[in-house]
């Protein structure tokens, strides 16, 4: 009990940092046209590869420097955040809805439903996920909705596996049996009794999945398959940075730091939520 | 008992592979882009397109195409790559060794790093050392291989350029190899100069792949070790006068390792999945890098072949882990 309490206190500062970063990045993305110091698409070859503000040769107004086409890095990162967050929320929620529903059905009803769903999950797990994502986007065509759909199609299994196992555990508990004796229907028990008890796991997974979705989007735009090449994306900036790494390291460093902070924040958030909701640890 | 378990697993494995084949086949044929149109020069006539279409069997229905392909696969014929105009199986076997070498080196590094930190953490349990290991493994686990690769490129490719960050081997070198397993063959031939060059190229992508897995091994093995260290027989060994390190290595490790072993098997498939993007990042000439090119070129036969080989690799690893677990676990062995 004491250990659990100490653990929760220890998590708090990290949770605040994670939440603070995500809120900052999210607000910057939402208000991108107001916050960004420059037009993220404006090219100026007179301003190519300007270093960040503390180095010699920096220009005022271009805080994090410019890329090889003279585009402002900070503004591109802020606008890239829009796509990252849209993909994170939409893809994670879609994967969650599909995966949790199937997991709940497989775990609660068992039998044939479980066998079929589990077999599909097995097939899905036999694909290398990154290759599967690239393949799907190539098929669906590049664009925001394709990226979201591809991530949801691949990652629903993550929810399905966990929720199935949790639901199985819950279904064996006394309260489910009691509800059945009390005359409740199977679907009613599943939705009203079992579902609320697996929600903490769903919420924690959702936060983790958002971080994963951000990475997958970055990977897809890194191989130039995400959305149109005009719009700035974090992965697209990284791809440019990888090419000009010996001339302008900052074009790789800043998007990389942004991505790492975002992914770490999402996973910290998920961990903290799990600890907070888990009655044993609480 | 064991044989029955093996046969059931083999059957489910075949069903899974069939499922993968169906999914890939359907998915890539829904694709809007026309691979044939991409192959021909702009002046090609409709008759040219139709002829080539028939040549690759693309004029038949999707079900017909699937069974033609499947009967080919059964005979070991995976078709011809559209973009490279070579036998798919040959292309895949040419690249697979590079990916396997990378994955195996990464696995060895992950086990070594994860195992060492787990043992140190269990020995120093409750101290600042253990807390430090926990923080490091937490970070290693949360950051995916793609980002680790970029961090390593910056650190050891640009800041302190001691490793190569592109390719599999220096292009100016004369390679005497007869197999595609360059690293293993260079060791067998005692050409350590080549081994060093190969390792200089392989180390960064391998570390990027190894770090998340090392973190998982470290966390789980440390947890199991700490549980075992409180058991009577371990306490007895301690009373007998063994040092804590001896107790861990001689008594605790073999009983704590089983859950980790199972997990390593499953996680190894994730590591292999990660080679796709990590190979791309480091321009390493493996199967994953070829797969991305195949997707971009809409090379249907090649994509099918590569995905199926990856899937085969995954189910084989899962099968062998399952069997190893059954062999090592006394409860299942006698059950």
Contacts of B275 in chain A (CB under 8 A): 128
In a domain, residue A13? The reply is: yes
Per-residue pLDDT tens digits for B35-94: 666 666 667 777 877 887 777 777 778 888 888 888 888 888 888 888 888 899 999 999
Residue-wise burial string across B156-174, b where 16 or more C-beta atoms lie within 10 A, e elsewhere: bbeeeeebbbeebbeeeee
Q: How far apart are CA A147 and CA A136, in angstroms?
A: 8
Structure tokens at A138: 């190539």
More confident residue, B312 or B332: B312
Residue B101, CB-side half-sphere exposure with 13 Å CA sphere: 25
Taking the CA of residue A247 and the nearest CA in chain B, the distance in Å comes to 10
Which of B16, B272, B280 has the CB atom closest to A123's CB atom?
Answer: B16
- Say if A11 is an interface residue toward chain B (CB within 8 Å): no
In a domain, residue A57? The reply is: no
Confidence band of A212 (pLDDT split at 50, 70, 90): very high
Contacts of B28 in chain A (CB under 8 A): 135, 139
- Say if A136 is an interface residue toward chain B (CB within 8 Å): yes
pLDDT at B54: 79
pLDDT at A1: 40
In a domain, residue A10? The reply is: yes
Tell me the CA distances in angstroms from B283 to A212, A223, B169, one per residue in order: 23, 12, 11
In a domain, residue A163? The reply is: yes
pLDDT (mean) for B283-306:
90
- Kindly report the number of other CB atoms within 10 A of residue A12's CB atom: 10
Q: How far apart are CA A168 and CA B154, in angstroms?
A: 46
- Kindly report the number of other CB atoms within 10 A of residue B244's CB atom: 14
CB pairs < 8 Å spanning A and B: 122
If you count them, how many residues does chain A have?
282
Substitution target from A3, A123, A208 for chain B, most B beta carbons within 10 A = A123
Confidence band of A264 (pLDDT split at 50, 70, 90): very high
In a domain, residue A91? The reply is: yes
In a domain, residue A89? The reply is: yes
In the predicted structure, residue A3 carries a pLDDT above the cut 70: no
More confident residue, B296 or A211: A211
Confidence band of B335 (pLDDT split at 50, 70, 90): very low
Per-residue pLDDT tens digits for A111-142: 999 999 999 999 998 888 999 998 888 888 88
pLDDT at B154: 92
What CATH number corresponds to the domain at position A232?
1.10.3720.10
Q: How far apart are CA B207 and CA B106, in angstroms?
A: 6
Q: Which residues contact B224 (CB under 8 A, 6 or more apart)?
A: B256, B257, B259, B260
Indicate the burial class of B83 (C-beta count within 10 angstroms; 0-12, 13-18, 19 or more): middle
pTM beyond 0.80: the answer is: yes
CB contact under 8 A, A119 and B19: yes
Confidence band of A186 (pLDDT split at 50, 70, 90): confident
How many domains are contained in chain A?
1
Residue range of the domain that includes A68: 2-38+62-277
CB contact under 8 A, B147 and A222: no
Give CA A220 to chain center in angstroms: 14
| Cα B285–Cα B290–Cα B295 angle in degrees, nearest 5 | 155
pLDDT at A278: 63
pLDDT (mean) for B156-166:
87
3-state secondary structure B262-312: HHHHHHHHHHHHHHHHHHHHCCCCCHHHHHHHHHHCCCHHHHHHHHHHHHH
Nearest residue of A to residue B146 by CA position? A219
pLDDT at B269: 92
pLDDT (mean) for A233-241:
91
pLDDT (mean) for B244-267:
83
Q: How far apart are CA A128 and CA B276, in angstroms?
A: 8
Substitution target from B277, B282, B289, B310 for chain A, most A beta carbons within 10 A = B277
In the predicted structure, residue B268 carries a pLDDT above the cut 80: yes
Tell me the CA distances in angstroms from A274 to A21, A192, A211, B274, one per residue in order: 20, 21, 16, 27
In a domain, residue A97? The reply is: yes
pLDDT at A2: 47
Q: Which residues contact A82 (CB under 8 A, 6 or more apart)?
A: A29, A30, A32
Q: What is the ipTM of this complex?
A: 0.89
pLDDT at A282: 45
pLDDT at B69: 84
pLDDT (mean) for B222-231:
87
- Say if A118 is an interface residue toward chain B (CB within 8 Å): no
Backbone angles phi, psi at B87, to 5 degrees: -60, 130
Confidence band of B333 (pLDDT split at 50, 70, 90): low
Per-residue pLDDT tens digits for B108-125: 999 999 999 999 999 888
In a domain, residue A53? The reply is: no
In the block, tokens 């686990």 appear at B141
pLDDT at B204: 95
The fraction of chain B above a pLDDT of 70, given in percent, is 94
Substitution target from A135, A143, A237 for chain B, most B beta carbons within 10 A = A135
């Amino acid at each position: 009990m004491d250990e659990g309490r100490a653990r929760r206190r220890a998590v708090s500062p990290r949770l605040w940092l994670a939440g603070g970063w995500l809120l900052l990045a999210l607000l910057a993305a939402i208000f991108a046209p107001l916050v960004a110091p420059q037009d993220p698409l404006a090219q100026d070859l007179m301003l190519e590869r300007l270093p960040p503000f503390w180095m010699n040769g920096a220009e005022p107004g271009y805080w994090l420097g410019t890329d090889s086409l003279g585009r402002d890095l900070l503004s591109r990162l802020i606008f890239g955040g829009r796509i990252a967050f849209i993909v994170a929320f939409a893809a994670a929620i879609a994967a969650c809805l599909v995966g949790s529903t199937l997991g709940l059905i497989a775990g609660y009803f068992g039998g044939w439903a479980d066998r079929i769903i589990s077999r599909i999950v097995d097939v899905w797990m036999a694909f290398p996920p990154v290759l599967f994502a690239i393949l799907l986007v190539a098929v669906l065509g590049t664009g925001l909705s394709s990226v979201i759909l591809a991530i949801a199609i691949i990652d629903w299994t993550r929810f399905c596996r966990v929720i199935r196992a949790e639901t199985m555990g819950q279904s064996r508990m006394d309260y489910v049996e009691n509800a059945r004796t009390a005359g409740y229907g199977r679907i009613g028990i599943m939705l009203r009794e079992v579902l609320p008890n697996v929600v903490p796991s769903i919420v924690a997974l959702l936060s983790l999945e958002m971080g994963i979705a951000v990475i997958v989007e970055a990977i897809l735009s890194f191989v130039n398959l995400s959305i149109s090449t005009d719009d700035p994306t974090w992965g697209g900036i990284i791809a440019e940075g990888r090419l000009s790494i010996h001339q302008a390291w900052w074009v790789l460093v800043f998007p990389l730091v942004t991505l790492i902070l975002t992914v770490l924040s999402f996973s910290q958030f998920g961990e903290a939520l799990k600890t907070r909701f888990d009655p044993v640890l609480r | 008992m064991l044989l029955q378990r093996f046969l059931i697993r083999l059957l489910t494995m075949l069903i899974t592979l069939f499922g993968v084949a169906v999914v890939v086949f359907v998915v890539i044929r829904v694709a809007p882009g026309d691979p044939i149109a991409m192959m021909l020069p702009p002046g090609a006539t409709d008759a040219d397109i139709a002829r080539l279409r028939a040549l690759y069997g693309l004029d038949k229905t999707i079900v017909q195409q699937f069974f033609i392909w499947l009967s080919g696969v059964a005979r070991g014929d995976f078709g011809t790559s559209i973009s490279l105009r070579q036998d798919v199986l040959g292309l895949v076997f040419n690249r697979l060794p590079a990916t396997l070498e990378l994955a195996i080196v990464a696995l060895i590094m992950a086990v070594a790093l994860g195992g060492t930190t787990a043992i140190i953490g269990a020995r120093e349990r409750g101290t600042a050392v253990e807390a430090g290991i926990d923080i490091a493994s937490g970070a290693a686990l949360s950051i995916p291989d793609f980002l680790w690769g970029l961090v390593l490129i910056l650190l050891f490719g640009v800041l302190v350029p001691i490793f190569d960050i592109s390719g599999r081997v220096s292009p100016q070198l004369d390679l005497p190899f007869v197999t595609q397993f360059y690293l293993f063959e260079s060791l067998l031939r005692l050409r350590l100069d080549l081994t060093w060059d190969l390792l200089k190229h392989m180390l960064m992508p391998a570390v990027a792949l190894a770090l998340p897995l090392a973190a998982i091994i470290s966390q789980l093995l440390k947890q199991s070790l700490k549980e075992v260290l409180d058991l009577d027989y371990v306490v007895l060994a301690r009373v007998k006068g063994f040092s804590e390190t001896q107790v861990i290595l001689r008594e605790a490790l073999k009983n704590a390792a089983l859950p980790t072993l199972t997990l390593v098997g499953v996680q190894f498939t994730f590591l292999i999945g990660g080679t796709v993007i990590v190979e791309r990042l480091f321009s390493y000439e493996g199967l994953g890098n070829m797969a991305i090119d195949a997707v971009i070129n809409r090379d249907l036969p090649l994509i099918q072949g590569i995905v199926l080989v990856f899937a085969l690799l995954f189910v084989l690893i899962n099968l062998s882990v399952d069997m190893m677990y059954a062999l090592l676990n006394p409860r299942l062995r006698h059950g």
